[in-house]
Amino acid sequence: MKTVDCRGLACPQPVMETKKALDRSESKEIVVLVDNPTSRENVSRFATSQGYQVSLRDEKDHSAITIRRGEGGKGEEKPAPPKSSIEGGLLFFIDSESLGRGSEELGGVLIRAFLHTLGEAEVKPQKMILVNSGVKLACEGSPALEDLQTLASQGVEILVCGTCLNYFELKEKLRAGRVSNMYEILNALTQAEKTVKI
């Protein structure tokens, strides 16, 4: 039996670590340790959605989630790890360095979590467009820079608005993706089969 200690990890890391353990483990059962109700629910829901049997045990300062293969689960064999793929017509449009409205601090945490999770997701967009303050994500000093570099290395084309970089005086600090222009950005938007604004 394998134990995955996810105590102290922020969302969505417990789910991502659980997924990695299930993909790599030969064991019929793994135990995931979490220290908050949100992680407990997220990991349990993820495992159940993937066809595994789940049982919960609450301790004083954490919960132990036992995930089993076999009857009612994913079968006796270890599931094959999913292949990462680039979704041909999918484009993500990011126009801010934070996600959502309200707290800028929370929005910064959310956009970093989103980009990190996207780097580990099975399906990725073909292109990402960064405009307005979203260009700051791809520049030196950005907490999301490493995740954007990972996405670029996985084949995601990252187009960064040159006018926006100039406005924020960041052109020399671009470290992920490439400088683009409104003509290219417009063409990418109109040719995409599906555009998702983040």
**pLDDT number for residue 5:** 95
Active-site residue flag, 164: no
pTM of structure:
0.69
**pLDDT number for residue 187:** 87
Q: Which residues does 9 contact at the CB level (< 8 Å), separation at least 6?
A: 17, 39
pLDDT beyond 50 at 76:
no
**pLDDT number for residue 87:** 60
Better pLDDT: 153 or 12 = 153
CATH assignment of 85-197, among 3.10.400.10, 2.40.110.10, 3.40.1260.10, 3.40.50.300: 3.40.1260.10
Question: How does pLDDT run across 15-71, given as a tens digit for each residue?
Answer: 889 988 998 888 889 999 999 988 898 899 889 888 999 999 999 999 999 999 865
CATH topology classification for 2-68: Translation Initiation Factor IF3 (3.30.110)
CA distances from 197 to 99, 117, 125, 159, 186 (A): 10, 16, 12, 14, 14
**pLDDT number for residue 85:** 62
Q: Which of the residues 11, 139, 161, 164 is marked catalytic?
A: 11
pLDDT beyond 90 at 81:
no
**pLDDT number for residue 74:** 56
**pLDDT number for residue 163:** 92
Q: Which two tokens stand for residue 119?
A: 């780097």
Q: Which two tokens stand for residue 129?
A: 């467009």
Q: Which of 152, 195, 197 is nearest to 176 (CA)?
A: 152
Question: How does pLDDT run across 86-96, given as a tens digit for each residue?
Answer: 666 899 999 99
Question: How does pLDDT run across 122-178, given as a tens digit for each residue?
Answer: 899 999 999 999 999 999 999 999 999 999 999 999 999 999 999 999 999 999 999
Q: What one-character-per-residue DSSP string does the chain give?
A: -EEEE-TTPPTTHHHHHHHHHHHH--SSEEEEEESSHHHHHHHHHHHHHTT-EEEEEE-SS-EEEEEE-BTTTTBSSPPPPPPPEEEEEEEEEE-SSSSSSS-HHHHHHHHHHHHHHHHHSSEEEEEEEE-GGGGGGGBTT-TTHHHHHHHHHTT-EEEEEHHHHHHTT-GGGB-SSEEE-HHHHHHHHHH-SEEEE-
What are the residue boundaries of the structural domains of the chain, listed by start?
2-68, 85-197
